[in-house]
Structure 1
Amino acid sequence: MSKEFNVPPVVFPSGGNPGAGAQQRRLPTAPFQPPRSANPGIPFMSFDISSAAASTSLSAPQFGGNNIGIGTGFEDEPPLLEELGINTKQIWSKSVSILNPFRVKADLYEDADLSGPFLFLMAFGLFQLLAGKLHFGIILGWVTVSALFLYVVFNMLAGRNGNLDLYRCVSLIGYCMLPMVILSAMALFVPQGGVPIFVVAGVFVIWSTRVCARLLVELASCGDEHRGLIAYACFLIYTLFSMLVIF
């Protein structure tokens, strides 16, 4: 015979059916979402790609006034020699003018430059190198000393009215080195140590002296009355360079 037990009923504190309470339990929200109680009018984190792309699109800057060319091609760029300040046409005109010692155009040398003189000095040293003589350092040093010597002599003769600057002096001496360059090229085919090389060297020294003295007198003031002394100083300078070719 089975014995019956009296079990008291279970009463939940919240009341109601526990099964129904499980069904009414709140579902978990997705991550990174604001709570439902937040203000719906203020976007917290919006992952709308179309609206984000529209809001972050950058417009090209508009420049008022002048139209500035951005990204121009290489056709609009100036040549490299002009950017470096080397005027090849001017160097060629000055060189051609020196080739005629009786019609030297002094107005071409009003704008002094060192591009042409440096080219002639390097050519002079190159021909000396072909002759077996390494004189690059000697040539540059002698040009510097010669320019200082001629600058001091001219300004002492002209006094306070002398307007010859050192830069123009170096430029004129360098351009008048063109006959010395031709002499160094001819010396490769002329026998050394004979009378012909001395005669040829004398002709080219007089050529360089005449051109340099005339340019100095015409470009600088108060030099016409001291033409002979200026020519003598130029003669000493180019005689010194001719010795590098002869010996």
Structure 2
Amino acid sequence: MAKDFNIPPVIFPGGGTPAASVQQRRLPTAPFQPPRSANSSIPFMSFDVGSAAASTSFTTPQFGSSSSSAVGIGMGFEYEPPLLEELGINTKQIWNKTISIINPIRVNADLHEDADLSGPFLFLLAFGLFQLLAGKLHFGILLGWVTMASLFLYVVFNMLAGRNGNLDVYRCLSLIGYCMLPMVMLSAVALFLPQGGAAIFVMAGIFVIWSTRVCTRLLVELASCGDEHRGLIAYACFLIYMLFSLLVIF
């Protein structure tokens, strides 16, 4: 015989039936979304990737267009200037100046109107490399001596020309550096000549006179009031290049 148990009725706090309580239960909100309320003053924005991709359109500006929306877009690598041109190195100008130095009889001074240091730097680097092949490390000496020689020639010329002198240090560096080309040739020829022999002294004298003549000619034609003191300018140039030839001889 089954025994009957008296089970008290379940009373929910909100009142009503269990089904009604389930309907009144608050649904959980999605992550990172604030609860919606009528009194909320902050607008709600949902992070819906699909709708965002559909509503957002990106237009790629065409190269060469004149519209203002293409600001910051380059013209492409094919329209970029050469690297040497961006660095201010004119290889054609350096070559023409080098050819003019090779001919000491007819020096074209018009090519040296625009002073530059690219060619002189290459000549000094070649001079130092030839000296290095001869077992002499003279890179620092060459740079220091060229700087001091330019200052020396600048002071001497402007003292001779007085107030009318228009020679600057930059032009002195350019002219002395380009006229170092015979010294570079001497350092290359000296690799095949015996040290201390008469041949190297004769070759050194020829190349020193070559550099002196070219440098004097360029200074006289490019700077004002130089023709009146040609002999003194030539003597100063001779001392400068004789000093560099001693590095090759000894």
Fold shared by both chains (TM-score > 0.5)? yes
> Which consecutive residues of structure 2, in runs of 5 or more, have no partner in the other structure?
1-7
C-alpha distance 53-140 of structure 1, shift in aligned 2 (>3 A) = closer
| Counterpart AA for 1:240 | L
Q: CA deviation at 1:84?
A: 1.5
CA RMSD of aligned residues (A): 3.1
In the other structure, the counterpart of 1:201 is: 204
| Counterpart AA for 2:29 | F
C-alpha distance 66-148 of structure 1, shift in aligned 2 (>3 A) = farther
In the other structure, the counterpart of 1:3 is: none
Deviations 1:141-163 (A, max 9, x none): 11111111100000000000000
| Counterpart AA for 1:101 | P
1:174 pairs with 172, 177, 185, which one?
Answer: 177
1:70 pairs with 73, 83, 89, which one?
Answer: 73
In the other structure, the counterpart of 1:109 is: 112
Question: Highest Rg: 1 or 2?
Answer: 1
In the other structure, the counterpart of 2:18 is: 22
2:29 pairs with 12, 32, 57, which one?
Answer: 32
In the other structure, the counterpart of 2:215 is: 212
3-state secondary structure, aligned to 2:21: coil
How many Å separate the matches in 2 of 1:91 and 1:66? 42
3-state secondary structure, aligned to 2:163: helix
Instruction: Please tell me whether residue 149 in structure 1 is matched to residue 152 in structure 2.
Output: yes
TM, length-normalised to structure 1: 0.81
Q: CA deviation at 1:166?
A: 0.3
2:186 pairs with 177, 183, 186, which one?
Answer: 183
Q: CA deviation at 1:22?
A: 3.5
Q: CA deviation at 1:70?
A: 2.1
C-alpha distance 67-218 of structure 1, shift in aligned 2 (>3 A) = farther
Map 1:220-239 → 2, pairs under 5 A: 220-239=223-242
Q: CA deviation at 1:123?
A: 0.8
C-alpha distance 46-213 of structure 1, shift in aligned 2 (>3 A) = closer
In the other structure, the counterpart of 1:164 is: 167
Q: CA deviation at 1:165?
A: 0.2
Q: CA deviation at 1:195?
A: 1.7
| Counterpart AA for 2:234 | A
How many Å separate the matches in 2 of 1:66 and 1:223? 58
C-alpha distance 49-226 of structure 1, shift in aligned 2 (>3 A) = closer
Q: CA deviation at 1:52?
A: 3.9
How many Å separate the matches in 2 of 1:213 and 1:43? 83
C-alpha distance 44-166 of structure 1, shift in aligned 2 (>3 A) = closer
Instruction: Please tell me whether residue 139 in structure 1 is matched to residue 142 in structure 2.
Output: yes
Q: CA deviation at 1:25?
A: 3.3
Q: CA deviation at 1:71?
A: 5.0
In the other structure, the counterpart of 1:81 is: 84
| Counterpart AA for 2:17 | G
Displaced runs of 4 or more, over 6 A: none
In the other structure, the counterpart of 1:129 is: 132
Deviations 1:49-95 (A, max 9, x none): 5544445x254487735965725443222222222211111111100
Instruction: Please tell me whether residue 240 in structure 1 is matched to residue 243 in structure 2.
Output: yes
3-state secondary structure, aligned to 1:25: helix
- Aligned-residue sequence identity (percent) comes to 75
Aligned length: 230
C-alpha distance 191-58 of structure 1, shift in aligned 2 (>3 A) = same
3-state secondary structure, aligned to 1:24: helix
Deviations 1:84-115 (A, max 9, x none): 21111111110011000111111111111111
C-alpha distance 45-182 of structure 1, shift in aligned 2 (>3 A) = closer
Q: CA deviation at 1:29?
A: 3.7
